[in-house]
Structures are given as C-alpha cells and as structure tokens.
Structure 1
Amino acid sequence: MKNLRNSYLFILVLAFNLSSCKFFEKEDPKPVGEDLNFTKYLAVGNSLTAGYTDGGLYREGQLNAYPYILAQQFKTAGGGDFLQPLFSEQEANGSGYLKLTGFSPAGNPILTPVTTNLALRGGIPLPGGPKLTKYTDVNLQNLGVPGMSVLASGVALYGTLNPYFERLLEDTDVITKTYRNFISNRNHTFFSLWLGGNDVLEFATNGGETKPGNPFSGLTSIADFRENYNRLVEALTANGAKGVVATIPAITAIPFFTTISVASVRALAKAASPQYDVYIRTGSGSTDVRVAQPEDLILLNAVGTIGRMDMQIPHGYTPDNPLLDIEVLDKEEAAEIKARLAAFNNIITEAGKVNSLAVVDMEAAFNGTLVANSILSIYQQGVAQNPAPIRNSLFSVDGIHPTPRGYALIANEFLQAINRQYGTALPLVNPANYRGIAFP
C-alpha cells in the first residue's frame, strides 16, 4: 500500500514525435482571407485563461497562458500589445503553487508548497482564500478568473467570495459588479471565450457531492447555463467584434480522475489479502456500499487514505471501511456529468454558429490529439530513473491544469479554429519551446 500512497505523480504525459508533429509549421505565413481586426484582443474565461498551473496562479504561468501565446501570434496579423494582470517580480509566486522538488529513495515524487514571494494583502481572507495584491487597470485584456463559472458570471456578490476576481475589481465594485458587467464595454476588436468547466468541476472533484452553503459547487442547470452563456456572448459581440469560443473538455478524462484506477487498487488489496477487494460508498445509507467497478473513478485526493489502517481495518478494502463518497466519483455520477457536459457543449457550439464565431472543439481535442492518443501514465515506480517524460507532460502537478507546453498545445487548437472559420493563416507555435513539468 505504501507504494500507491507515495507513488503518484498525478500526470498524464505527452508522447508525440516533434519531428513529425502537426502542431506547428516551419514557415511563417501571413494571414489571408477575411479582414479581422486583432488590435485589441480580450480573453474571457476561468483558471485556464488566467494561466493557472501547478495548483496556483503565479507569474511564470501567467506568461505562458494560452491567451498570451495567442496575442503573440495575432501580432503577425496586426494585433497589438496584450495587458495581463501580472504579479510583480517581487511577488512572482502569486497565490503560491506546488513544486516538484525531488524524488524519494524509492523514486516517488516529492511536491512542496511554494510559500515565499507571494502576492498576499493580508487581512480577513475571503471564502475562496487570502486576498491578493490588487490589479485594477481599466485597459486589462486577460480577464481570466480562476474559479469563474458561467453560473457565477451573473452574480454580483461573487467578488466577495473569489480572491482572484476581487483582485481585479475596484473596492466600490466588489459587491455590485458581475463578471458579465466586468467584461462588457471594453472596446475590444476580437475575443476568446472559454468558460463552463467550473459548472461541473467542483461537483466532480468532490465525488459528486454538493458542498453545503456553496451554490456554485453543484451542477449548473442547463437552463441557467444557456441563459448566462448567451448573455456573455451578447456582451462580447455587442460592438460587432468577432471572436472564438471553446467547448468544455471531458472533465473526467483528466489525471485527477484517471491516475488511480480501480484495477490498480484491487491488485494492492488482493496482495494484502485474497479476501480483500475495493469497496466504495455511494450514499449516506448504511447499505449504500458496493464493490467498485471499472467505470467508477477513484479521485486523486484519496491517494493518501487508500489502505490506511482505521481500527485495524484497511480503508477501502472492506465493506466495513469503504472509500468515502467524496473520494470516488461513481459511475452513475460520472454519467450524469457526461450528460450535462454534452448539453453545455451543445449550447456553446450553437452560440458560436448563431453568431458566426470560430468554435474550438476542445472536448474532441482533449479526448483525441491532446490526451487519449498521445499520453501515458508515469505514476508508477521508475519515474526517477526516466525523468524525460515528466518534462514533456501536458498536465501540471495538480492533475487538472496544463503545463506551459499544455497551454501551447491549447493555443494551437484556438489558432486552427480561427484559421478555419475566418480563412486566416495565423502561424502555430512549437510546443517544444515550452516546458512541461519543472524538474528540480
């Protein structure tokens, strides 16, 4: 059991051959086709738009955010500068993050929280965390807010809950301005909109449980999503600006949900004793316990508890001490999330088509090119002896957010969608120029 608890670099890694990679072009063609105006590009979204990585928002991640990469490519078509709410060099570590600092003698990863050079203001923290150093420039163009959901975009009090949003607001706007109002009237000429993941993510990472007192921790209703998403698009297209929208990837395909398989835990249980198996709790009732099935998803946050001895009973191995509901996304909950995401993505795609916007099928990209056909798992022993795959990884050490290389690949998906929709020839970027996991 020790091996599972300690052997978990919760990443999936990129395993593509850069010499034959289709993600970048050798030439630097000039944009052609419809005359787009990239003079002022506005990026709207959540943590992915902000450049969140390794479990935090910090300066290096911001400088490798996909909107920043896009803005550099837009300059080949007359695009202007791109203002981001960067943390200063003195506070470069922003909110703090997780850093890979080495490996144990057994070859297992050691993750250490970075707690120096943070951008914290002190005082009473918000429900979402400590307050961060303010950045309220009215010319701001990267409006990505970690934690932002389509549902939350229409709630005025959200600035009192989320420190990343509060950071961007004037004090007088914190309790009155919605995110939708915040992104409106920016005089932009082109925009990207990638929102919706957080309308299911917290529910999923909490094992299909809604947190009491948190209205944003459940699954957003389809009706609420449609209304709020369409109003976001209306705000962004009000001045005639063109843009690109992106669908939501399959949440349950990311490492947070795939690193620990039922089969791997079952093998450990059987090795401990043939009478053991993997048991999960599916509800609050005394009989809501069953043997885990392959379609059940054991969450990454259970890695330290599996096999733990509780009153001489190993956790997860018997029906008397099953994995908790918050440690597993059972197959019924996973199916519910899949259906809700399908409905959300239909709304996003429809909004894009109705408004003649480019649409990035990010669900297909993550399931296909970016994940399913090009990655392998390296959370077993032997990682320390073969560090190269770690450096190439698409996902950062939090198991949810990309590395800079992952963001470069995402930027290419946006660029290709723009080129298809508008007949342009914006050059793609070379992912090899961006790092994967930062190796010590």
Structure 2
Amino acid sequence: MKNYKYIGLLVLSIGFASCDVNNELDEIQGPQVEQITPNANGLDFSKYIAVGASFTGGYLDGALFIKGQENSFPNIMASKFKLVGGGDFNQPLMGDNIGGFMMGGQQIPSLLPRLYFNGAGPVRLNATSTTSLTGRAAGTSFNNYGIPGAKSFHLTFPGYGALNPYFGRMASSASATVLGDAMAQQPTFFTLSEVGGNDVLGFATSGGSGVDQKNNFNPATYGPNDITSPVVFDQVFRGMVTAMTAGGAKGVIATVPDITLLPYFTTVPYNPVPMNAATAASVNSAYAAYNGGIQQAFGVLVQLNVMTKAQADAEVLKRTINFKAGQNAVVIVDEHLTNLGAINPAFAALPQLRQTTAKDLLVLPSSSFIGTLAVPNNPASVNGVGVALADQWVLTETELAQVQAATASYNATITSVASSNANVALIDLNAILQQARTGITFDQYTMTTALVRGGLVSLDGVHLTSRGYALMANKILGAIDTKFGSNFTVATNGLAKADDYQTNYSPTLR
C-alpha cells in the first residue's frame, strides 16, 4: 500500500497594517538521488554465455514462449552487463507466446501450450502452437543454452539435439553437445545454473516412480525418471566448470534448490478428504477385513521370528486404515512397505497400503484426481479412499529422503568447486528458496512459494515467474559483486526492478 501525507493549510484572517507580505513559498526540492556509475572492476562481459536447464531458458507456466525467454534471468543480466560493455545476448526464441510444439499441423501432446490463471486455477491455453518440432530457431549463434529437461550428463552428450527439441532447434550439428556449442562461442563470462535440478525432478514429479541410481555410474542405462548418481554428477559438473574457465573466463555457478519446497509438492495437503462420522464409519467397515488381515499376518511373522514384536506393531500401526470425521489422509500404495506376499504366499492378497502422513508429498496433479471415481457410478471406488492412489500421485517419505540426499550431494560438489576455483562465484539458490517459504522481499513486494498468489513460482508449480527470474538475476548480480568487486547492487539501474516484470500473463498474449 502507498502512504499519502496530507498537508493542511490553516488560513488565518488577521488584519495587518501593511499588505506587502511575501505569500509565495519557496519550491520544495525533492531528495537528490546520487547517480552511481556501473563498474565491472575489470570483468569482461563482451561474450556472456548461459548454460543450464529450464530456469536458464526462461521456462515458466509449463512452457517455453517468447515473453518468458525475454524475461529469463540471463537476458535480464545481459541487459545490465551492457551498462559496462557487455555484448548482445541472442536467444533461440520460440515462434510465439503460446508455447509447446506442433508437428504436421498437430499439437504435440507432451509439449503443450502454456498455463494461465482463469480465476479458479491454472489451465492450459486453448490455442495451437506455431513452433515446429523440427524447425530451427532464427539465428546462427546463441548465448543462452538453457535447455528445458536437460539433466547434468545430457549437457555433454553428443547428439542430444535428437532427443531434446529445445536443443535440436539450436544445435550446430547432429552430433553437437550443449557444452561444446556453448564453448564454441568463446565465452568471457558464464553462468552455470540449476544443473542437477532435472537429475531429481523427474523422479520427484512422477511420485518416485524411477530408480535411485546412486551406485550406478553409467547414465546410458538410466530411465527418464531415475535419480542421477552423485558420482556421475560430480564428474560431469567438475568437467564443465574446468572447460568453461580454461580460457580465463569467469562466471557464476548455482546450487540446486530443494525442489520439494516448490508448490508442485506442497499445495495439496496430505489430508485432503473431508468426511462426516457416518461416512467414516462406512469406509472403516469396508477396510475391517484388510486391517484384520494385516494384524494376523504380522502376528505370524513374529511367531516365526521374522521380525520382533516391536517391529511388527510399528508396521501394523502404519498400515492400518482408519477414517474419522473431519479431514482425512488418503490411502496410497507404498512399495517400501514390507511385501508380505514375498515372505509368505498365504499373505499375497494383502496389498502394501497405508494412509499418507505429513511427511508425504502429494503432487499437484493429484488435486484433480483425488475424489474421482475409479469405476463410474460406483461410490465405493473413490480414488484415495476406496481405491488406493498409485505411486505416481505421491512422493513418500522414503522417496523424499532419496531426492534430498541426492540434492545435498550435488550441492556439496557445487560448493566445493566454488571454494577451490578463483574464477567462479557461488549463488545459493537453495537458501533463497528456503527463505521464500516464509517470504522474501523484492522491492515493495514480499514473495513466497505459494501457488498463484505467492508471486515467485509460476503456475506450473516448479519454475519461477518472470518477477521470480528478475529476483534471481539480482541475486546473481549480487554474487558477482561480492566475488569480483563489481557494483551492480549499488549502481544506478544496476539491478532489475520488480514492477517491470509480471507474475501472470493474460490468455490473450499469443
């Protein structure tokens, strides 16, 4: 809110013997703003190259589109670098502000138009993309190598353009690597950001349906939703920084945010099912046989000395299904529970079921699935109640721990590289996201990670808004100042201003 001060003038009717009174007031001068000249302190920004994944590319609202690319944090930074001799910053712009790809006149189902807010929630734009899946981006050389979907090892993988259309439309050849094309531009300054994010993101957004490959050092054998081994990440990341600084270039590297702090994982509560006492009693009656079977099975396992009574009691408590009046946790399949059928075929009919706890994270798409009917017109088949949610809808406590362990390992590598290389500054994006959980200040705004209303994270629940990318640009500029002695944070117009960047785009923007 803006505060306005009102000055009241009291006019006094006083008789004066003389009328030669000066009633004109001196003009009130506003505060003088000191003009501070930007200073690079010897840094060379003539060829700035950005390498990374979707954040670097300006991906937001579930798609890559022109306006988002123009407001990518590297493009914002490049505009500030121009104040101190920086060169042009060319991006592989999409063909429209719709987002997604088309082929043969048809929208690619996995590469859809952007989201917009319709007043109730995020929905897809009802439009057809004009960007061809097989077409090339305009331009012969580029500065922004932010490739949505790229994992760390993809950035050094020959021929990656055939697997990823975002790189395919800008790759120099069929066998090109992202890093190789970036290095061919002979960067004088670079950013290497959110490398490692996609190495856990697919696993997390799929509800942990992939494999934690921590002991598998051959990424050629990984599935699309697998977690990259920290050993593989360490080798790739260290190699990339070595290559990018070999010619004397300086740059900034960024930690990987804990993606499970994002609204994609925090918007849907673990207990989203309202229920009255009568309905709860009815559902509990339906689960009575299952609960009794669990107690019996674990009792047998104790008698056979397969586990202790304390272990059995703990798992029985975890697996017992119980609804009550009020808000209720959903029923899920948890493959990390003891597989009773594998121990004794007599228990094969007992599934690995439990209800969610506050330590589980329901993914954002589950909000439109929970409460629907698995079988039409069958009220006993409510998904999340009578029918357990499959693995894809929830990141369990065990899976969350796997994501966080991998992220911590990646960040240990990144911070180690930063501390041992005088040519790179470090920006801790993970700490910034942690701060944003309760609120982070950007000019006159307080931004949070809340979906739609928070201002920091876009409608897809994972990527930042344009204003969020502007904040990110400012934080990186601050890291450059701290490491290399430049003065972007205090120079006149040295930082991006929040009001210049939107948090939501109109559906009329095409």
TM-score (norm 2): 0.70
Indicate the residue corresponding to 1:282 in structure 2.
Answer: 334
Higher relative CO (Cα under 8 Å, sequence separation at least 6) belongs to 1
Counterpart contact for 1:30–1:77, Cα < 8 Å: no
The one-letter code of the counterpart of 2:163 is L
Unaligned runs of 5+ in 2: 4-32, 101-111, 212-219, 282-322, 340-349, 441-446, 489-493
Give CA-to-partner distance per residue, 1:17-65, whole Å, 9 cap, x none.
899xxxxxx8663344741111110000111111111111110111000
Indicate the residue corresponding to 1:299 in structure 2.
Answer: 363
Unaligned runs of 5+ in 1: 1-16, 20-25, 121-130, 380-388
Measure the CA separation in 1 of the matches of 2:265 and 2:223: 23
Work out whether 1:308 is the aligned partner of 2:372: yes
Aligned length: 385
Measure the CA separation in 2 of the matches of 1:59 and 1:399: 20
Equivalent position SS for 2:190: strand
Indicate the residue corresponding to 2:108 in structure 1.
Answer: none
The one-letter code of the counterpart of 1:283 is E
Equivalent position SS for 1:313: helix
Counterpart contact for 2:257–2:431, Cα < 8 Å: yes
Work out whether 1:399 is the aligned partner of 2:465: no
Measure the CA separation in 1 of the matches of 2:177 and 2:360: 37
Work out whether 1:48 is the aligned partner of 2:110: no
Equivalent position SS for 1:280: strand
Residues 346-365 of structure 1 aligned to structure 2 (within 5 Å): 346-356=412-422, 357-365=424-432
The one-letter code of the counterpart of 1:109 is G
Give CA-to-partner distance per residue, 1:144-195, whole Å, 9 cap, x none.
111111122232242221111111124xx22x22222222232111000011
Measure the CA separation in 2 of the matches of 1:425 and 1:360: 16
Indicate the residue corresponding to 1:198 in structure 2.
Answer: 198
Counterpart contact for 2:78–2:89, Cα < 8 Å: yes
Residues 40-439 of structure 1 aligned to structure 2 (within 5 Å): 40-88=47-95, 91-95=96-100, 97-100=113-116, 102-103=118-119, 108-109=120-121, 111-120=123-132, 131-135=133-137, 137-170=139-172, 173-174=173-174, 176-194=175-193, 195-210=195-210, 215-263=223-271, 265-266=272-273, 268-269=274-275, 273-275=279-281, 276=323, 277=328, 278-283=330-335, 286-311=350-375, 312-318=379-385, 320-356=386-422, 357-368=424-435, 370-374=436-440, 375=447, 390=453, 393-426=455-488, 427-439=494-506
Indicate the residue corresponding to 1:386 in structure 2.
Answer: none
Counterpart contact for 1:92–1:119, Cα < 8 Å: no
**Which range moved further: 158-167 or 268-277?**
268-277
The one-letter code of the counterpart of 1:436 is T
Counterpart contact for 2:89–2:144, Cα < 8 Å: yes
Give CA-to-partner distance per residue, 1:117-164, whole Å, 9 cap, x none.
5211xxxxxxxxxx2531274431011111111122232242221111
Q: Cα gap change, 1:378/1:407 in structure 2, threshold over 3 Å: closer, same or farther?
A: closer
Q: Cα gap change, 1:99/1:147 in structure 2, threshold over 3 Å: closer, same or farther?
A: closer
Give CA-to-partner distance per residue, 1:310-344, whole Å, 9 cap, x none.
243354543x5111111000011111111110110
Equivalent position SS for 2:192: strand
The one-letter code of the counterpart of 1:417 is A
The one-letter code of the counterpart of 1:93 is I
User: How far is the alpha carbon of 1:232 from its aligned partner?
Assistant: 1.0
The one-letter code of the counterpart of 2:131 is A
The one-letter code of the counterpart of 2:334 is T
Counterpart contact for 2:55–2:72, Cα < 8 Å: yes
**Which range moved further: 338-347 or 427-436?**
427-436
User: How far is the alpha carbon of 1:76 from its aligned partner?
Assistant: 1.9
Counterpart contact for 1:280–1:316, Cα < 8 Å: no
TM-score (norm 1): 0.81
Equivalent position SS for 2:472: helix
**Identical-pair percentage:** 33
Counterpart contact for 1:199–1:216, Cα < 8 Å: no
Indicate the residue corresponding to 1:123 in structure 2.
Answer: none
The one-letter code of the counterpart of 1:243 is G
- After superposition, the CA RMSD in angstroms is 2.6
The one-letter code of the counterpart of 1:341 is T
Measure the CA separation in 1 of the matches of 2:188 and 2:2: 34
Give CA-to-partner distance per residue, 1:367-418, whole Å, 9 cap, x none.
11x3333456877xxxxxxxxx74x621211111111111111111111111
